[in-house]
Structure 1
Amino acid sequence: MEGTYWAPEFGRDRMRAGLALQIVAASTGVPVESMTRTVRLEGRACRARWLAMYLSHVAFGWPLERVGHAFGMNRSTAAVACRWAEDERDRPVLDALLERLERCVREVLEAPACELGL
């Protein structure tokens, strides 16, 4: 079926989700460890993880189910995160931050691959 979502390659998607988490951590000061806990997160860590989920959705072009899968969440959690981030884009400071983060992620992914010799 055209457009049907299948579970992605686990390692590659987790690596990309990790990139989004690291970039959000570097720009917000919220450590990745705080965003990836398995218990209920406090406000700043939760919103930072939502930013990383939203960044994955827009920068990687992932559907919400794939975002949820890569972050160990379900689709509805990814949808809440993306809805929150879209609403927050009305704030110029957050919109500018997300623009920069999207550009950063795209530049990293579009960079030529570098073969590392042993």
Structure 2
Amino acid sequence: MRSEAMGAEHPAFGRAGGAQVAAFERARGGDGAAAAVAALVGRRRNVPMDQLLHRSRCKPEIAEARMLAMYLTHVMLGRTYSEVGQFFGRDRTTVAHACARIEDMRDAPGFEDEVSAFEAAIGAIDADGRERRHAAG
């Protein structure tokens, strides 16, 4: 099931998901999980999706949010650098650089806590970008 069928609110990411996730999913090759990760980072970092996926570097806080989204897409979703680059409109070497930068930044305690919280949230998402449901009992 694609995220566009989920209505205005994405089940895992709230109102930051929904229609925006569906639009970017379609525009970026149908990767619902990557779109959901981008929506989550954008919402928590207060960066609009269009800026997160913009071709230019933009402001430093936008570039950092984009690097974080690329890192999480690679590490948590298992996408290759090329796949991540295609989704974000970047070269695979740019994705590799972003991942290395985020790994270096994880040494800072506050940043490590933030990344761990993102990882926990993303760990509950399936391949379509939907929240996983656990069977009772």
Shorter-chain-normalised TM-score: which range?
Answer: 0.7 to 0.9
Paired residue secondary structure (1:108): coil
The CA deviation at 1:10 is: 2.5
Query: Greater helix share, 1 or 2?
Result: 1
> Do 1:24 and 1:48's aligned partners in 2 also have CA atoms closer than 8 Å?
yes
Stretches of structure 2 that go unaligned for 5 or more consecutive residues are 1-27
The CA deviation at 1:39 is: 2.6
Q: Which residue of 2 aligns with 1:49?
A: 66
Q: Which residue of 1 aligns with 2:99?
A: 82
Deviations 1:3-38 (A, max 9, x none): xxxxxx931x2x222211111122212222221222
The CA deviation at 1:41 is: 1.6
- Runs of 4+ in structure 1 off by over 2 angstroms are none
Stretches of structure 1 that go unaligned for 5 or more consecutive residues are 1-8, 113-118
Q: Which residue of 2 aligns with 1:105?
A: 122
CA RMSD in angstroms, aligned pairs only:
2.0
Q: 1:106 & 1:31 partners in 2: Cα distance? A: 23
* TM-score normalised by structure 2 residue count: 0.68
Count how many residue pairs are aligned between Structure 1 and Structure 2: 103
